[in-house]
Chain A
Amino acid sequence: MIAITIQQGRLFDPANQLDVITDLHINHGRIIAIGEAPADFTASKVIDAKDMLVIPGLIDLSTRLGEPGLEHFTTIARETKAAVAGGITSLCAMPDTDPVNDTFAVTELIQRRARQAETAYVLPVGALTKGLKGEALSEMVAMHREGCVAFSQANQPVVNTQTLFNAFDYAATHKLLVMMRPIDAYLGKDGVAHRGAISSALGLPDIPSAAETLALARLLLLAEETGVRLHLSQISTARAVEMIHDAQARGLPVTADVAIHNLHLTEFDVADFASFMHVQPPLRSQRDRDALRAGVKAGVISAICSDHTPLMHDDKLLPFPESVPGISGLESLLPLLLALVREHILTLEQAIKAVTHQPASLLGINRGSLQVGAPADIAIVDLETDWLFNRRQLMSAGDNTPFHKWPFTGKVHTTLFQGRVVHQPKLA
């Protein structure tokens, strides 16, 4: 373990209301001091962070890392490298792997691969039901013991309401977090675009907003009835923001996240049939996007994720409706967040806390802050660099991004994971 000093950066940590230009000292993988170094401390490495932003490593609530199932295409080692290139040091790995992460053996495999890679903290999310089929409960307690931080159905709804009720009841018994994406099992099932002006004009099979709000109402009512701790993943509609706000106002301990691309793009972006714009939930109306932004500002939505889905070429090399939905998003999450800050849509604090201490606290993990004693997961960000995002330069195996050639200002300079430098700028 090397002792590191990050010198004269702007330390920005919403969890501790810290915004100060000073030094930060790291030893044995942890933050040991801010400001003055301890008397007995000698840094073996000094990182000059002058004019840079020093923030907690980002926490991404929804990612897909290829393992198990897609090893021929990508691996946890490769995707975690992509994560830290984007300043992300903790990632929730969705259970829709092959095989599904529905037993502790799969959880253990994911953990082992992540430990071998030693690049970022991978937090497995277990399947709520076996095979994500919505029929039998998975062994949540055993999987939790093995390291699953939460349980989810990924993109698969539970059709049988009694089963869903039981799953929530069981998770509540063991105080387990449940992360659910609100999707109706039938409404909009064959849809590929938001039900609106563009789907009407282009003749794309549509997904009404009610496909989300119907499912959301069902989830909220069952959470209230069972007392399960519910987190709502990747909401996309204005009405869902209202419904979650109302539930929170009544005291229900429900939280929500949004995918960063739903804060930037709208249905109009699919107008060229660009398959890179094909995502689930779909890009919705401008009104929805604005309501999602307002939901983040108001704290109704407490986390922003990449919903990283690396895909193979063939998956997108198809007419829009036949292409596989998803964006390779790890490396665009922070640049897109900083763009929202530059456009005065979010404050820096609102943006950073939605990817650091808020997701950490809803997961119940000791990460996402620059607290002395916390693991030294840190992103150092150069806020001034202008650059063009380029899908051919991504670390991820998936180059499926709609943000190719988008101009960004602000780039990750160095990322530390548990006190080690895991990403640094290439030598010129």
Chain B
Amino acid sequence: MFGYPGLSSPSLQLNEAGKLKHLLTLEGLKPHHIQDILDRADGFINTDTRQIHKQPLLKGKTIVNLFFEASTRTRTTFEIAEKSLGADVINLNVATSATKKGESLLDTIYNLEAMQADMFVVRHAKSGAAHFFAHHVAPHVHVLNAGDGRHAHPTQALLDAYTIRHFKGADFSQLRVAIVGDILHSRVARSQIQVLNLLETEEIRLVGPKTLLPHDASAMGAHCFTDIEAGLKDVDVVITLRMQNERMSSARLPSEQEYFETYGITEERLKLAMPDAIVMHPGPINRGVEIASTVADGPQSVILDQVTFGIAVRMSVMAGIMQT
């Protein structure tokens, strides 16, 4: 755990009663916050039939999906979750170039507030952007971080925790989890590490080449492995991350082929993990780059379950925040 003085001051996202009024990061939250979200999510889904239970808890509320960075999948699951809660939904894909200046970035927010928005679901390419918005919105407006730069993607990590809990049970204290790939640039990994630590996971391994590992993993509460075989040995959960083309052009990796050869999750490598290990991926997957198709489509893959559970978890987060 971080425990640094002042690190992401919890006061920004918690109200006086200690309840979430924004969700910007999982850092600074207590285990009960996580448990509440996961437990409430149970009420929004039948995990046997994968059926989502629509409940009009946010009827009359307006939620703006404010995406400064392109996204189809995340935005869509948010939209489904919002509509399943009966909220009015507005989607705005804001070209970053139009909001280069600080004032106009804020003007966007102020204008939307004036149009009676109750919550912003924000995605932005820069770390800290969600904090920036939370600092500047009106007191009654909620901010939900849908991914900011390399910093955090809390709802993804929560749905991952929900998925692990579904398949492995509520006790994480015996679990070994390997996160494989580009940890350095991954907001998903940062939030996953936080949620896994909050749930007292026995071991969190970060697996990848040094060019894609964070400088100080121990400060994040995780251990680095550059050896894929050692990293996968006896783990209960394998989380693969998406490999961006950009890592080739920025000279962090020579090629997708070489990455697959050295760190790709293949059936053979998966045998090193526990026999009942599950394989996860935040999507969208690059087949043959970070994961072999046979694994992605194989019996241990829970990748599509993550997507469905994600709707319930996002419903739970939004219902929780909007009711404070």
Interface-facing stretch out of B31-39, B97-105, B263-271: B97-105
The answer for the CA separation of A319 and B127 in the assembled complex, in Å, is: 7
A321 touches B127 (CB 8 A): yes
- Among A203, A205, A206, A316, the most chain B Cβ lie within 10 Å of the Cβ of A203
Name the contact of A202 in the complex, choosing from B9, B128, B217 (C-beta under 8 A).
B128
A-side interface size class: 20 to 34
A197-B216, A203-B151 given as contacts; is B5 within 8 A of A268 (CB)? yes
Would you call A314 and B9 a contact (CB within 8 A)?
A: no
Q: Mark B131-170, 1 if CB is under 8 A from A, else 0.
A: 1100000000000000011111000000000000000000
B149 near A201: Cβ-Cβ < 8 Å: no
Question: Which chain A residues border B126 with CB–CB below 8 Å?
Answer: 319-322
A46 touches B (CB below 8 Å) = no
Compute how far the CA of A201 lies from the CA of B217 in the bound complex, rounded to whole angstroms.
Answer: 8
Q: How many residues of B contact A (CB 8 A)?
A: 36
CB distance from B212 to the nearest CB of A (A): 13
Q: Are B102 and A321 in contact (CB under 8 A)?
A: no
The CA-CA distance from A314 to B100 in the complex, in Å, is 10
A101 interface residue (CB < 8 Å to B):
no
Cβ contact within 8 Å between B127 and A201: no
Contact B217 A198, beta carbon cutoff 8 Å? no
Proximity bits, A335-377, B CB within 8 Å = 1, else 0:
0000000000000000000000000000000000000000000
- Chain A residues within an 8 Å CB radius of B148: 319
Give the distance to chain B from A189, nearest Cβ to Cβ, in Å. 12
Answer whether residue A141 sits at the interface, using C-beta atoms and an 8 A cutoff.
Answer: no
A21 to B124: give the CA distance in the assembly, Å.
Answer: 60
Residues of B within 8 A of A320 (CB): 126-128, 132
Q: Is B205 an interface residue (CB 8 A)?
A: no
Count chain B CB atoms within 10 A of each CB in A200, A205, A323 and give the residue with the most.
A200
Distance in Å: Cβ of B46 to nearest Cβ of chain A: 36
> Measured between C-beta atoms, what is the minimum distance from A192 to chain B in Å?
8
Q: Indicate whether A18 reaches chain B with its CB closer than 8 angstroms.
A: no
Residues of B contacting A322 with CB < 8 Å?
102, 126
Interface residues of A in 297-344 (CB under 8 A from B): 313-323
Docked Cα-Cα span, A28 to B129, in Å, equals 56
Whole-angstrom distance between the Cβ of B252 and the nearest chain A Cβ: 13
Of residues 180 through 216 on chain A, the ones whose CB sits less than 8 Å from some CB of chain B are 195-206
Q: Is the CB of A203 within 8 A of B187?
A: yes
CA distance A329 to B214 in the complex (A): 33
- Give Cα A314–Cα B216 distance, bound, in whole angstroms: 33
Residues of chain B in range 83-111 having any CB-CB distance to chain A below 8 Å: 101-103, 105-106
What residues of B have a CB within 8 angstroms of the CB of A315 in the complex? 102
Q: How far apart sit A391 and B216, CA to CA, in the bound complex (Å)?
A: 35
Whether A316 contacts B7 in the complex (CB less than 8 A), given A200-B220, A202-B128, comes out as no
Whole-angstrom CA separation of A195 from B215 in the bound complex: 7
| Contact residues of B between 181 and 196, Cβ < 8 Å to A | 185-187, 190
Q: Beyond A317-B106, A320-B127, A321-B126, is A272–B214 a contact (Cβ under 8 Å)?
A: no
Which residues of B are found within 8 Å of A197, using beta-carbon distances?
A: 4, 216, 219
A142 CB within 8 Å of chain B: no
Give 1 or 0 for each of A246-282: 1 = CB within 8 Å of chain B CB. Answer: 0000000000000000000000110111010000000
Say whether B7 contacts A272, CB under 8 Å: yes
Interface pair B128/A321, CB less than 8 Å apart: yes
Instruction: Give min CB distance, B143 to chain A, whole Å.
Output: 13
* Complex contacts, A269 vs chain B, CB 8 Å: 6
| CB <8 Å contact, A317 and B103 | yes
Q: Does B8 contact A (CB under 8 A)?
A: yes
Residue in B101, B106, B129, B216 whose beta carbon sits within 8 Å of that of A200 in the complex: B216
A-chain residues with CB within 8 Å of residue B187 when the two chains form the complex? 203
Chain B residues near A273: list those with CB within 8 A: 8, 127-128, 131-132
Q: How far is the CA of A414 from the CA of B150 in the complex (A)?
A: 49
Cβ contact within 8 Å between A319 and B9 = no
Distance (whole angstroms) from the CB of A285 to the closest CB of chain B: 10
* Given A199-B215, A318-B105, A319-B132; A268-B4 close (CB under 8 Å): yes
Q: Pick from A271, A275, A321, A323: contact of B7, CB below 8 A.
A: A271
Question: Could you say which residues of chain B place their CB within 8 Å of the CB of A272?
Answer: 6-9, 12, 131
A202 and B216 in contact, given A272-B8, A313-B102 (Cβ under 8 angstroms) = no
Bound form: Cα–Cα A203–B212 in Å:
12
Name the CB-closest residue of B to A323: B102
- B128-A200 in contact (CB<8A): no
- Across the interface, name the chain A residue whose C-beta is closest to B106: A317
On chain A, the residues within 8 Å of B127 by CB distance are 202-205, 273, 319-321
Please report the C-alpha to C-alpha distance between residue A328 and residue B31 in the assembled complex, in whole angstroms: 41
Q: By the criterion CB–CB under 8 Å, are B132 and A204 in contact?
A: no
Q: How far is the CA of A203 from the CA of B220 in the complex (A)?
A: 11
On whether the beta carbons of A201 and B190 are closer than 8 Å, the reply is yes
B142 to chain A, nearest CB (A): 18
B185: A residues at CB distance < 8 A: 203
**Cβ–Cβ contact B129 & A319, under 8 A:** yes
Contact B215 A200 (CB under 8 A): yes
Residues of A within 8 A of B149 (CB): 203-204, 319, 321
> Could you pull out 24 A-B pairs where Cβ atoms are within 8 angstroms?
A200-B214, A200-B217, A200-B220, A201-B4, A201-B219, A201-B220, A203-B127, A203-B150, A203-B190, A204-B127, A204-B150, A268-B7, A271-B6, A272-B7, A273-B8, A275-B132, A316-B102, A317-B106, A319-B126, A319-B127, A319-B131, A320-B127, A320-B132, A322-B126
B residues in contact (CB < 8 Å) with A: 2, 4-9, 12, 27, 101-103, 105-106, 124, 126-129, 131-132, 148-152, 185-187, 190, 214-217, 219-220
A interface list, Cβ under 8 A from B? 195-206, 268-269, 271-273, 275, 313-323
Question: In the complex, given contacts A198-B4, A200-B219, what are 10 additional A-B residue pairs having Cβ atoms less than 8 angstroms apart?
Answer: A196-B219, A197-B4, A197-B216, A272-B6, A273-B128, A315-B102, A317-B105, A320-B128, A321-B126, A323-B102
Closest 8 pairs between A and B when the two form their complex, measured CB to CB: A203-B150, A317-B102, A273-B128, A197-B219, A271-B7, A200-B214, A320-B128, A319-B129
